[in-house]
Amino acid sequence: MTATEPRAPRDEGSWAQPVERLTTTATTTSQDTVTGKRVSGPVQGFGQLWQKTFSVRVPAEQHSPDAVVVHWKAGFPTFWPKGATFYAPLAGITPGEVALFDVPPVPGSPIKMSTGILVIYADHESFTFMTSEGHALSAWITFSAYADGDATVVQVQALERTADPLIELSYIFGANRANDRFWERTLENLARSLGVAEPVVESIRVCVDRRRQWKYAGNVRHSAAVHMTAGTVTAPARWARRRRAGRSGPG
Amino acid sequence: MTQTTVDVTRNGTTAILRIHGEITGSSEPPIMAAYAEADGAKSIVLDFSQLDYMNSGGIGLLVTLLVRAQRAGQHLLAVGLSEHYRQILALTRLDEAIAIHDDEPSALAAAASA
């Protein structure tokens, strides 16, 4: 008698393996603030839970959903708005890979916040990122495309909480809207690359949970924004200290 | 097309939701209908033993369910997870909010003592 082997789930190859701490093959021109950190999703975030859906329509005749997702993965960094930089891992957007990026904490800021994401899921019609500790958001962000009549709908769907009280405060004072604009511009850029002259992005924002998770207020200790600000503020003092040490050294 | 069916049974103040087929972003109507049927339960046990497929949209749906349960003061527990789906809950750190049990009796015992 032959024992029946358990059937492998269809989604098995699409998910990343669990990881305790993140490592990356991506190369950044700034500081790698992600290696050694854990992932952080909506369960571990501090602020209100938002579900945001951004979508744009492209002609299905020229662009099937699968083809759009291939195009998106291949050129992912090029669709981001100016001022933000995405450093892809060597294997590209595949499950288990960690990407790094630099983004301004607020639009127009000359200072960049370095952080990253883990690709937790990827198949032929979608891929999903989960943010690392230190990111402004504790989030899952899914990028997908599907057919709807004569159009292919290209979509970004984020399930997100701000990571800590300081970021939540910035969300109240405009960063929430700025974050929305980031994904709207990304979709506009993607649609233009597919030949849509005047893309129209639809945005739907739903606050799924208005409560704040005070037990995660301590996430602020991981905050890339706080570390970046502290590093910038103390830079002149560190420079002066180095200079003094150089003068009093042997010579 | 997504195929999801959910059977709801009761054991005292605990409701058991047996999920068959797939969980994707499109599974919201049957899963939320089952959750509404479990209205008034102190604890909700999700039985995944008949789960065939789950994508990242499905994981998002579990978070929405978790938020609703927490808001209602209910505990959320899971049984029947294969090693693969246990790993997904660990990867996404959902296992920090949904109590995973090896079998239904242990989940029901935990629910009763909660």
**CATH code of the domain in which A156 resides:** 3.30.530.20
Using an 8 Å Cβ cutoff, are A14 and A4 in contact?
no
Q: Which residues of B touch A147 (CB under 8 A)?
A: none
Q: Which residues of A touch B1 (CB under 8 A)?
A: none
Assess whether pLDDT exceeds 70 at residue A35: yes
Assess whether pLDDT exceeds 90 at residue A237: no
Assess whether pLDDT exceeds 50 at residue A1: no
User: For chain B, how many structural domains are there in total?
Assistant: 1
Assess whether pLDDT exceeds 60 at residue A101: yes
Assess whether pLDDT exceeds 70 at residue B14: yes
Report ipTM (2 d.p.): 0.88
How many A/B residue pairs have CB atoms within 8 Å? 80
Among candidates A98, A105, A94, A213, which has minimal Cα distance to A160? A213
One-letter identity of residue A91: A
For residue B28, is it left (φ>0), alpha (ψ between -120 and 50) or beta? alpha
Interface of B with A (CB under 8 A): 25, 52-57, 59-60, 63-64, 66-67, 71, 82, 84-85, 87-88, 90-94, 96-97
What is the per-residue pLDDT for A106?
65
Q: Which of A103-117, A175-189, B1-15 has the lowest mean pLDDT?
A: A103-117
User: Which tens digits make up the pLDDT trace of A153-170?
Assistant: 999 999 999 999 999 999
What is the per-residue pLDDT for B19?
97
Average pLDDT, chain A: 89
Q: Do A140 and B56 touch (CB under 8 A)?
A: yes
Task: Report the distance separating Cα A37 and Cα A25, nearest Å.
Answer: 15
CATH number at residue B84: 3.30.750.24
Q: Do B57 and A9 touch (CB under 8 A)?
A: no
Give the model's confidence band at A251: pLDDT under 50 very low, under 70 low, under 90 confident, else very high. very low
In-domain check, residue A113: yes
Average pLDDT, chain B: 94
pLDDT greater at residue A85 or residue A106: A85
Domain that holds residue A109: 14-216
Domain that holds residue B36: 4-113
In-domain check, residue A21: yes
Assess whether pLDDT exceeds 50 at residue A2: no
Assess whether pLDDT exceeds 80 at residue A181: yes
User: For chain A, how many structural domains are there in total?
Assistant: 1
Among candidates A6, A45, A14, which has minimal Cα distance to A218? A45
What is the per-residue pLDDT for B69?
95
Q: Which residues of B touch A15 (CB under 8 A)?
A: 84, 87-88, 91
User: Which tens digits make up the pLDDT trace of A104-159?
Assistant: 766 667 778 889 999 999 999 899 999 999 999 999 999 999 999 999 999 999 99
Among candidates B72, B29, B114, which has minimal Cα distance to A209? B72
In-domain check, residue A8: no
Best B27, B87, B91, B94 residue to mutate vs chain A (most A CBs within 10 Å): B91
In-domain check, residue A224: no
User: Which tens digits make up the pLDDT trace of A190-230?
Assistant: 999 999 999 999 999 999 999 999 999 999 988 887 777 77
Q: Do A9 and B53 touch (CB under 8 A)?
A: yes
In-domain check, residue A241: no
Q: Where do we find the tokens 């750190």?
A: B93
Q: Which residues of B touch A19 (CB under 8 A)?
A: 91
Q: Do A142 and B56 touch (CB under 8 A)?
A: yes
Angle separating helix axes A65-74 and A176-193, nearest 10 degrees: 110
What is the per-residue pLDDT for A99?
94
H runs (alpha helix) in B1-98: 28-37, 56-71, 83-91
In-domain check, residue A174: yes
What is the per-residue pLDDT for A39?
96
> A49-59 and A202-209 as β-strands: parallel, antiparallel, unpaired?
antiparallel
Q: HSE, CB side, 13 Å, CA atoms: give it for residue A242.
A: 6
Q: Do B64 and A40 touch (CB under 8 A)?
A: no
Q: HSE, CB side, 13 Å, CA atoms: give it for residue A236.
A: 1
What is the per-residue pLDDT for B15?
97
